[in-house]
Amino acid sequence: MDEEYDAIICGTGLKECILSGFLSQKGKRVLHLDRNSYYGADCASLNLTNLFEMFRPGQNPPEEFGHNRDWNIDLIPKFVMANGKLVKMLLKTTVDKYLEWKTVEGTYVYQYSKGGFFSSAGGKIYKVPGNDSEALKSSLMGLWEKKRCKNFFVFIQDCELDNPKTWEKMDIHKQPMSDVFKKFKLESNTIDFIGHAVAMHINDDYLDQPAADTIEKIKLYIDSIGRYGEHPFLYPIYGLGGIPEGFSRFCAIHGGTYMLNKSIDEILFDSNGKVTGVKSGSEVAKAPLVICDPSYVKDTKGHVKSVGKVIRSICILDHPIPDTHDATSCQIIMPQKQTGRNSDIFVNMVSYAHAVCAQGLYVAMVSTNVETSEPEEEIVPALNLLGPILEQFTMISDIYVPVHDGTDSNLYVTESYDPTSHFESASNDVLSIYKRIFGEDYDLTISPEETKQEEE
């Protein structure tokens, strides 16, 4: 370790591994360290023994759960948008070749009804249409609302963000998204499912913000449908931990050095505040650039701050989630308005079909921003959708963001993972750090040659 490098990266989470791959791809000599004995850090996929050691030290897993080799439980539940930035980074680096994928079978949205003379109050989940035929059969909307919604989506598909002639006499860069919904006379529940289950916003703040951002998000969702299957989300066989492992392999092929079980005692700086390397015990590795996740600097002043907390609960089931047509994978979005909250609740479910748990079992993961002093009570509406739970593992974590952009010190700190059900915000963080380091955007353009390789 007592050597000089171009860059040192602390933590093998997804963001850090992507950046190590990018740096090594540019010919940088990279040292990548992690205090853990496994890859992935917060994004790891744990076997059964490691899962129980983390949440219930000293307790053995039930024998009926089978062998460790059958289990790969994600600590941070997310799916991958089929036409999103993460897929483009995987294709650009060819890391996708190290992974096998399955399409997520469906997205559902939760709607609450107050009830009336002939019906009782309660919530129900509805499948978000993944194609035209599903839209026509969907009970999410009435007949006339389907026609209005169709007109809305035609507008979205034809809308070009830089061509005012396609904006239907609106200024999408100035007018709020609420004005667009009003123009097409969409109902409240329709707006809810579009804003939260299609555009994937986590709260209703977007309604008062310029429409262009939401239109772009909806177009991404539409473009992802049919990209690799009938629905817009993907999930890797053997769990999400395979993605950072893939980028680690890519970095190593380009000359990167990896050390697990390596604690970092201190990040070193010179008298001008520029980073010079890291210290581990009596060893010092030198580099003019250091990238780390928040856990490596959270106890040192001046680098990160907590902006909230997120609760995540891993639930092992012996059945699919009710009312999902026996899906082996799905996600459920519970919009804030439907549960009386300030942010959405997300449910991601995968199963034995993805080699993440024993045969016949399912893993549902519930996540949301913490809003009260009783976070476990906040996720009860989601837990109630799951049916009987065999085992449950819950963790509450701080959401850290850096207080500086890293350009003065050359210490770049990634943000904590938010509770959203996809990797778009994480991908944006990676691309932002890359641009701050190199002063240019990472080129996500796939050449014709790369497209041909993908098809092969």
**pLDDT score recorded for residue 140:** 81
Say whether pTM exceeds 0.75.
yes
Asked whether the beta carbons of 95 and 246 are under 8 A apart, the reply is yes
Asked whether the beta carbons of 333 and 55 are under 8 A apart, the reply is no
What residues contact residue 135 under an 8 Å CB cut-off, 6+ apart?
129, 146, 149, 150
**DSSP 8-state code for residue 441:** -
Asked whether the beta carbons of 455 and 446 are under 8 A apart, the reply is no
What is the chain's pLDDT, residue by residue, as a tens digit (456 residues)? 778 999 999 999 999 999 999 999 999 999 999 998 888 888 899 999 999 999 999 999 999 999 999 999 999 999 999 999 999 999 999 999 999 999 999 899 998 876 544 445 578 898 887 655 666 677 888 888 888 988 998 999 999 999 999 999 999 999 999 999 999 999 998 999 899 999 999 899 999 999 999 999 999 998 998 888 778 999 999 999 999 999 999 999 999 999 999 999 999 999 999 999 999 999 999 999 999 999 999 999 999 999 999 999 999 999 999 999 999 999 999 999 999 999 999 999 999 999 999 999 999 999 999 999 999 999 999 999 999 999 999 999 999 999 999 999 999 999 999 998 899 999 999 999 999 999 999 999 877 665 555 445
**pLDDT score recorded for residue 448:** 66
What is the spatial distance between Cα 112 and Cα 114, in angstroms, rounded to a whole number? Answer: 7
Q: Are strands 290-292 and 7-10 parallel, antiparallel or unpaired?
A: parallel
Give the total residue count for the chain. 456
**pLDDT score recorded for residue 132:** 59
**pLDDT score recorded for residue 227:** 85
**Placement of tokens 């609106």 in the chain:** 170
- The secondary element (H helix, E strand) that includes residue 19 is helix 14-25
What is the spatial distance between Cα 366 and Cα 320, in angstroms, rounded to a whole number? Answer: 15
CA 42 to chain centre: 12
**Placement of tokens 């026609």 in the chain:** 147
**pLDDT score recorded for residue 455:** 47
**pLDDT score recorded for residue 121:** 58
**pLDDT score recorded for residue 113:** 73
SS3 4: strand
Please list, residue by residue across 48-82, b when 16 or more beta carbons sit within 10 angstroms of its beta carbon and e when fewer do.
bebbbeeeeeeeebeeebbeeebbbbbbbbbbbbb
**First-last CA distance in the chain:** 40
